[in-house]
Amino acid sequence: MELREKVIVITGAARGIGRAYAERFAREGCAVVIGDVTEEAGRATAAELAAAGGRVAFTRCDVTRAEDCAALMAFAAETFGAVDVVIANAGVIDEGDFLAITAEGFDRVMDVNVRGVFHTGQAAARAMIAGGRGGVIICITSTVAVVSDWTEGSYPISKGAVAAMMKLMAISLADHGIRACAIGPGAVNTQMMASELENPEKRRIVEARTPLRRPAEPEEIADVAAFLASDAARYVTGQTIYVDGGRLALNYEMPPRAEGA
């Protein structure tokens, strides 16, 4: 999976899984551009990775603004010479059942999770086409786009939309040498999930619905992003890779552990 010298742009990479992507690609010898709305955390992450020897730069980007996404790609091209891989990672969560969703909350989630991916994807494609060497766009969906979680409000709706948008990208951009894929994580051990995983009953549920009986670590999601970004995945487009510990294969909960297991 030769990735060295590729230029990787990641939105929402100041912390969590986004930061894990940045760390993985920096370690692979890529140039990494972090775009995030949280400036202090974004600059700190870029500085830490650069201090460890990575070629990493930060610029503020609000993915709900088309002009910010275009500026992010221009910054990457000016700083490192190209845009090879873009990971549309920025997103927000929600909570509550269907009747608890408010119009304001729905708009907020759709604005970041769907409109943000749309703006990021279009800006990425235009930069890649202008660069003349194709590229890869990786969207982030979720297992809840397939098996909806009634406690997560409009979040599953937004992730279903992202999965559909990725397929349209793949079809529309294929003749430009651009692949579009998605990663669908299950439960991941991040700051965002900390409150759930610290609650014994909620952690039991996560473990019971996951054949591997644990949440993923952010680095395990980043491993899949590295594959999709590489030429090892050169014939993969229009697909979502679910990194879920087997969750989508399981109809009910896992049976009790066998004695001594």
- Show which residues are catalytic: 142, 155, 159
| Cβ neighbours for 1, distance < 8 A, ≥ 6 positions apart | 28, 226, 227, 230, 231, 232
As given in the structure block, the two tokens for residue 54 are 């990575």
The pair phi, psi for residue 105, each rounded to 5°, is -65, -40
Place of tokens 């549920």: 205
Number of H helices, E strands in the chain: 9, 7
The residues, ordered by sequence, that sit 6+ positions from 121 with a Cβ below 8 Å of its Cβ are 86, 88, 137, 139, 165, 169, 180
User: Rounded distance, CA 85 to CA 7, Å?
Assistant: 6
